[in-house]
């Protein structure tokens, strides 16, 4: 495939940032700037049976692979379309049985290696940036990240050596570093994790804490839409991180994961001041959630919120993060009233802290709307779903399947 570029955009050298992507025409709010199919992708194991492995469509009655009986597909066409990649895992899963447990990153890298061997020409995912051009930042990796790469390489050899020829360790180290720094998480309309992928053209965009575009997913295709009016010659910025965090936290997260210091206006003005430093790392809830039962995790959240609430308002960003954790635990425990209680506290501060057309705000309205409907609070449910749709019409586009699904939910309430 020849280098065709992306209509309305141009790769350029961004002052102080290296390469980037700029507009060559005007984009209005909600315009599709470009779409990019995944170079390689994997459906997360937890979503098997609910989503097609090939196109990520969510539906009932999927057909399972006759050999491994773990991968599910819409139809024969999807199964055939995915076979070139699935055959790697199919054979490995059959060979290892219950002991087959590579990480999602290892699974993704295995597919990239296979694709690189089969696909020598530039792909539709690489119109402005090839996968091999992705930054690895090998010179900036600390001991912990190097050890993680070594562990992933060992797992790759362990689970795939019978079915895949590998490049040397230096090349594997670079590839894992590229994926860790440039990979994307594909999420559904409630921001639940569906899988991992690499989109080289999307990775070309630089970061800003006040982005002018947003990335959403239609199956395994990333869609980039304007969230602000963008003028010709203006750089196109995406956000790499959750924007709810205060300035110092955002800067630290970007340094740790992406190896640069953000100097966007949002960071240089420090509009979100980190005034909660003493509670900043009191508890790593992700690690705790791996070892504690949900009821105990919820108790930790509630105790933390009680102590924090004696000092800070409920609109404090760390209070909001803790309430979000608590809401998630309530949803897992099917405590619908508890989840609704936390969602109602979260939604208005979210609308203030996040930029317009935020997926975080839309997903919270969606969760609340569906909770209301489940609890037979029809009027409140429909109202919340309408607010979610108002954001998603812009962020996802009016023709997105998620929009149709939500409208169907609302029609069923009439």
Spacing of C-alpha 7 from chain mean position: 25
Residue 20, C-beta contacts closer than 8 angstroms, at least 6 positions apart: 11, 12, 13, 14, 204, 205, 206, 235, 236
Q: At what angle do helices 76-96 and 104-118 cross, to 10 degrees?
A: 120
Q: What's the CATH code of the domain at 168?
A: 1.10.220.160
Looking at every residue in the chain, the average pLDDT score rounds to: 92
Per-residue pLDDT tens over the stretch 343-380: 999 999 999 999 989 999 999 999 999 999 999 999 99
Residues 171 and 265 in one domain: no
The neighbour count for residue 388, using CB atoms within 10 Å, is: 24
Does 6 share its domain with 102?
no
160 and 63 within one domain: yes
Question: Per-residue confidence at 28, pLDDT binned at 50, 70, 90?
Answer: very high
255 and 185 share one domain: no
For residue 42, give the H/E element and its range: strand 40-43
Q: Report the alpha-carbon distance of residue 145 to residue 255 in Å, rounded.
A: 13
Q: Check pLDDT > 70 for residue 38.
A: yes
Query: For the domain that residue 208 is a member of, what is the CATH number?
Result: 2.170.270.10
pLDDT of residue 120: 85
Q: Which of 68, 104, 106 is nearest to 86 (CA)?
A: 68
Please give the model's pTM, rounded to 2 decimal places.
0.92
More reliable by pLDDT, 28 or 317 = 28
53 and 186 housed in the same domain: yes
Task: Kindly report, residue by residue over 247-297, the tens digit of the pLDDT.
Answer: 999 999 999 999 999 999 888 876 544 443 433 443 444 444 556 788 999
Tokens 């961004």 correspond to: 14
**Final residue in a domain of this structure, among 269, 291, 314:** 269
Q: Is the same domain home to 111 and 192?
A: yes
Helix ranges (DSSP H) in 2-129: 76-96, 104-118
**In contact, 101 and 148? CB cutoff 8 Å:** no
Q: Tell me, what's the pLDDT at 270?
A: 60
Tell me the residue ranges of DSSP E strands in 167-264.
184-187, 193-198, 206-207, 213-218, 221-226, 237-238
As for how many domains the chain has, the answer is 4
Task: Write the Ramachandran bin of 386: left for phi over 0, alpha for psi from -120 to 50, otherwise beta.
Answer: alpha
* Range of weakest confidence among 236-245, 278-287, 388-397: 278-287
Which of 232, 249, 269 corresponds to the end of one domain? Answer: 269
- Output b/e per residue, 214-223; b: 16+ Cβ within 10 A: bbbbbbbbbb
The span from the CA of 228 to the CA of 211, in Å, is 8
CATH number where 405 lies: 1.25.40
Show the domain range for 217.
1-38+201-269
Q: Do 64 and 181 have their domain in common?
A: yes
Residues 248 and 336 in one domain: no
Q: Say how far apart CA 303 and CA 160 lie, in whole Å.
A: 45
Q: Are residues 175 and 290 in the same domain?
A: no
Spell out the residues 6+ positions from residue 133 whose beta carbon is closer than 8 angstroms to its own: 200
* 349 in the same domain as 335: yes
* 239 token code pair: 């956000």
Q: pLDDT band at residue 245, thresholds of 50, 70 and 90? A: confident
Q: Distance from CA of residue 154 to its chain's centroid?
A: 26
Q: For residue 68, which phi and psi values (nearest 5 degrees)?
A: -85, -25
> Quick check: 315 pLDDT over 70?
yes
User: 3-class SS at 29?
Assistant: coil
The reply to whether 88 and 154 lie within a common domain is yes
CATH code, domain with 284? 1.25.40.10
Q: What angle do CA 217, 88, 52 make, to 5 degrees?
A: 35
Mean pLDDT score, 154-162:
94
Q: Provide the 3-class DSSP secondary structure of residue 106.
A: helix
Same domain (yes/no): 191, 91? yes
pLDDT of residue 213: 98
Find the mean pLDDT for residues 150-178: 95
Final residue before a domain boundary, out of 245, 269, 293: 269
């Amino acid at each position: 495939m020849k280098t065709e570029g992306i209509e309305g955009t141009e790769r350029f050298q961004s002052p102080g940032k290296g390469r980037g992507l700029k507009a060559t025409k005007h984009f209005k709010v909600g315009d599709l700037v470009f779409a990019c199919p995944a170079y390689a992708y994997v459906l997360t194991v937890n979503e098997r049976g609910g989503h097609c492995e090939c196109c990520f469509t969510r539906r009932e009655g999927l057909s399972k692979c006759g050999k491994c009986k773990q991968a599910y597909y819409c139809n024969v066409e999807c199964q055939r379309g995915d076979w070139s990649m699935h055959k790697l895992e199919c054979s490995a899963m059959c060979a290892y049985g219950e002991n087959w447990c590579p990480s999602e990153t290892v699974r993704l890298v295995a597919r990239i290696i296979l694709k690189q061997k089969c696909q020598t020409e530039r792909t539709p995912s690489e119109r402005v940036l090839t996968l091999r051009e992705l930054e690895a930042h090998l010179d900036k990796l600390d001991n912990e990240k190097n050890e993680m790469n070594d562990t992933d390489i060992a797992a790759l050899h362990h689970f795939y050596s019978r079915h895949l020829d590998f490049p040397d360790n230096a090349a594997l180290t670079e590839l894992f570093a590229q994926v860790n720094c440039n990979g994307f998480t594909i999420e559904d309309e409630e921001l639940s994790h569906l899988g991992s992928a690499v989109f080289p053209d999307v990775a070309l965009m630089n970061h800003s804490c006040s982005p002018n575009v947003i990335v959403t997913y239609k199956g395994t295709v990333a869609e980039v839409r304007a969230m602000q009016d963008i003028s010709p010659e203006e750089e196109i910025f995406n956000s790499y991180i959750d924007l709810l965090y205060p300035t110092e936290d955002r800067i630290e997260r970007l340094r740790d994961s992406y190896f640069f210091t953000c100097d966007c206006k949002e960071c240089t003005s420090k509009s979100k001041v980190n005034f909660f430093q003493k509670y900043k790392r009191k508890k790593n809830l992700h690690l705790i959630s791996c070892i504690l039962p949900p009821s105990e995790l919820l108790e930790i959240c509630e105790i933390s919120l009680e102590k924090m609430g004696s000092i800070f308002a409920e609109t404090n960003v760390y209070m909001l993060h803790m309430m979000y954790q608590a809401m998630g635990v309530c949803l897992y425990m099917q405590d619908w009233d508890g989840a609704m209680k936390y969602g109602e506290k979260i939604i208005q501060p979210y609308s203030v802290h996040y930029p317009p057309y935020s997926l975080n705000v839309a997903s919270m309205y969606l969760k609340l709307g569906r909770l209301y409907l489940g609890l037979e609070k029809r009027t409140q449910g429909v109202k919340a779903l309408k607010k979610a749709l108002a954001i998603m019409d812009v962020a996802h586009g009016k023709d997105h399947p998620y929009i149709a699904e939500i409208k169907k939910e609302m029609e069923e309430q009439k």
